[in-house]
Structure 1
Amino acid sequence: MDHRPQAWGRPRDDVYGAYDASYMSTNNGPTQHTQQPIVTGTSVVAIKFKDGVVIAADNLASYGSLARFTDVKRLRKFAGTSVVGFGGDVSDMQYLDRHLTELSIDEAYKSDPGHSLNARNLHKYLSKLMYHRRSKFDPLWNSLLVAGLDDDQKPFLAATDLLGTTFTSPSLATGFGSVLAQPIMRRYAPDEESAAQLTQEKAVEVIKECMKVLFYRDARSMDKYSIAVITKDGVDLKEDEKLENQSWAFADRIKGYGTQTV
């Protein structure tokens, strides 16, 4: 072996000849897939109300523990009637966003005027896509919430994950939101009957309360977020909302810890 520090770990060229690295070529190596998410978004939260659905997600994309990108929009409108909320890997989210753009263009050209995929159709399509990628051992590392209206113009909310598992509920959340936000939303919409009595104003208030709790309790969240309200009148999407009067400014008033003793 070559004992010079700059060449540690490889045989000496003057004794054994130059090292052949051709087997490392991408043409000769095995097909590799993403093994884990790298840049990720955290929770997406949503709740039904009597006329539609409210859905929200913050605008942070984290690189591990680093709050790397602070302007990543994780809610996407589809056909002006539905909203998809993305949790998980941002690069896979961008892939799905491009895929949905192509799908919406195809639908606009091929479908009859006034007819397009509603939220229920879109959720079924995405769940099949996620399951297909999972079956190829090349999953899309995302958790998705699909919000909108179904065939009967009733509020629709459902989820799918990287395994293609699907479920629906009056309120849904991904990431830490499933632990921190779901108990709050279930106070107001424990079942479909309760959700049908919920007003739009109250639903928005509940979602904002959830975003506040997540900001304080989830280390991978921030106070700037996107929120969408889906009704029969369309999608009202706001992408640069900020939690009012929410900051860590109160921390300098906490005494008795560390060097602050008075």
Structure 2
Amino acid sequence: MDHFPMSWGRPRNDAVDVYGTYPIAQRLHAGPKDAFSAGVQHTQQPIVTGTSVLAIKYKDGIMLAADNLASYGSLARFKDVQRLHPVGNNTIIGAGGDMSDFQYIQSILDDLMVEEFTAHDGHNLGPAEIHEYLAQVMYGRRSKMNPLWNSLIVGGFKDGQRFLAYVDLLGTTYTASTLATGYGSYIAQPLLRKAVEGREDTLTEDEARKIIQESMRVLYYRDARSLNKYQIATITAAGPTISDSQQSETEWSFAEGLRGYGNES
């Protein structure tokens, strides 16, 4: 890039810009100035990103939630993105981070499920196997210095057992009865722990849904990269279900009384 303002607006001269101002005989045999310009390029930072995913255990299964926003930096660019993805008949994953990397993860999981189906050996991959597979994929990409820029929550229900676990771009894994990614791990996680821990085996689906809805509403108030349009997924013995988009009821009139906002000075 030419950093000198007096040159801005000048029509591009590809020959000079690429090969320099050498005599024509030398230019014909010269290569590009950057010897690594055609090399393999790895993503250094996510561009279009999703924020928090929330998940909790309740009496009959697992519940997850994620909003429908994919931000282009600070711009709320895409407002109809589904960040919850069913995998087979027993698992749902939710993703925060780079959305193109999440699309890649969806594609490899879909290929994995096709391969598993065509094997026809009487075995089905459950949430524990899906989580272990993702952990190996994420750690393998990280080891090649080309990570998938995502934080993933894997929830599932198989053989009467609930499963909820986390994996991120470093291959870090852990399990808990409440999980959150992104800003939700700071703001929503304390709310989830207070409401759920110790009640995992008695919490009804309606109670779990109210907890999730309230946490999503708080995140919309506090997280500048969130949206009040979100989806809730449940995974029970009956299989995975992802709801249509719904909206949080919000109230902003209180802001008129804050100093530095509106007419207050």
What is the TM-score when the length of structure 2 is the normalising length?
Answer: 0.85
**CA distance in 2 between partners of 1:217 and 1:239 (Å):** 24
- Output the amino acid matched with 2:230: Y
Shift of 1:31: 2.1
The count of residues paired between Structure 1 and Structure 2 equals 252
User: Unpaired runs of 5+ in structure 1?
Assistant: none
Question: Which residue in 2 is equivalent to 1:201?
Answer: 206
**CA distance in 2 between partners of 1:194 and 1:71 (Å):** 33
The answer as to whether partners of 2:50 and 2:96 remain within 8 angstroms in 1 is yes
Shift of 1:22: 2.3
Question: Which residue in 2 is equivalent to 1:39?
Answer: 48
Question: Which residue in 2 is equivalent to 1:176?
Answer: 183
Question: Which residue in 1 is equivalent to 2:104?
Answer: 95
Shift of 1:75: 0.2
**CA distance in 2 between partners of 1:247 and 1:153 (Å):** 41
**CA distance in 2 between partners of 1:116 and 1:71 (Å):** 31
Distance 1:32 1:235, change over 3 A: same
Moved over 3 A (4+): 13-21, 23-26, 251-259
- Output the amino acid matched with 1:153: G
User: Unpaired runs of 5+ in structure 2?
Assistant: none
RMSD of aligned residue pairs (Cα, Å): 2.8
Aligned with residue 128 of structure 2, among 117, 120, 123: 120
Distance 1:259 1:138, change over 3 A: closer
Question: Which residue in 2 is equivalent to 1:187?
Answer: 194
- Output the amino acid matched with 1:246: T
The answer as to whether partners of 2:256 and 2:263 remain within 8 angstroms in 1 is no
**CA distance in 1 between partners of 2:224 and 2:115 (Å):** 40
For residues 74-121 of structure 1, the C-alpha deviation after alignment (integer angstroms, 9 at most, x for no partner) is: 0000112210001100110011111111111112211335x4111111
After superposition, residues 17-166 of structure 1 pair within 5 angstroms as 17=23, 22-24=32-34, 29-113=38-122, 115-150=123-158, 152-166=159-173
Shift of 1:196: 1.6
The answer to whether 1:225 aligns with 2:233 is no
Shift of 1:178: 0.4
Distance 1:49 1:22, change over 3 A: same
Shift of 1:239: 3.5
**CA distance in 1 between partners of 2:74 and 2:231 (Å):** 22
**CA distance in 2 between partners of 1:217 and 1:14 (Å):** 52
Shift of 1:252: 7.4
Distance 1:24 1:232, change over 3 A: same
The answer as to whether partners of 1:188 and 1:198 remain within 8 angstroms in 2 is no
- Output the amino acid matched with 1:86: A
For residues 101-153 of structure 1, the C-alpha deviation after alignment (integer angstroms, 9 at most, x for no partner) is: 1111112211335x411111110110011011111111000000000124x42
Shift of 1:17: 3.4
For residues 139-192 of structure 1, the C-alpha deviation after alignment (integer angstroms, 9 at most, x for no partner) is: 000000000124x421110000001110000000000000110111111222xx
**CA distance in 1 between partners of 2:148 and 2:85 (Å):** 17
Shift of 1:213: 0.5
The answer to whether 1:215 aligns with 2:220 is yes
**CA distance in 1 between partners of 2:195 and 2:52 (Å):** 19
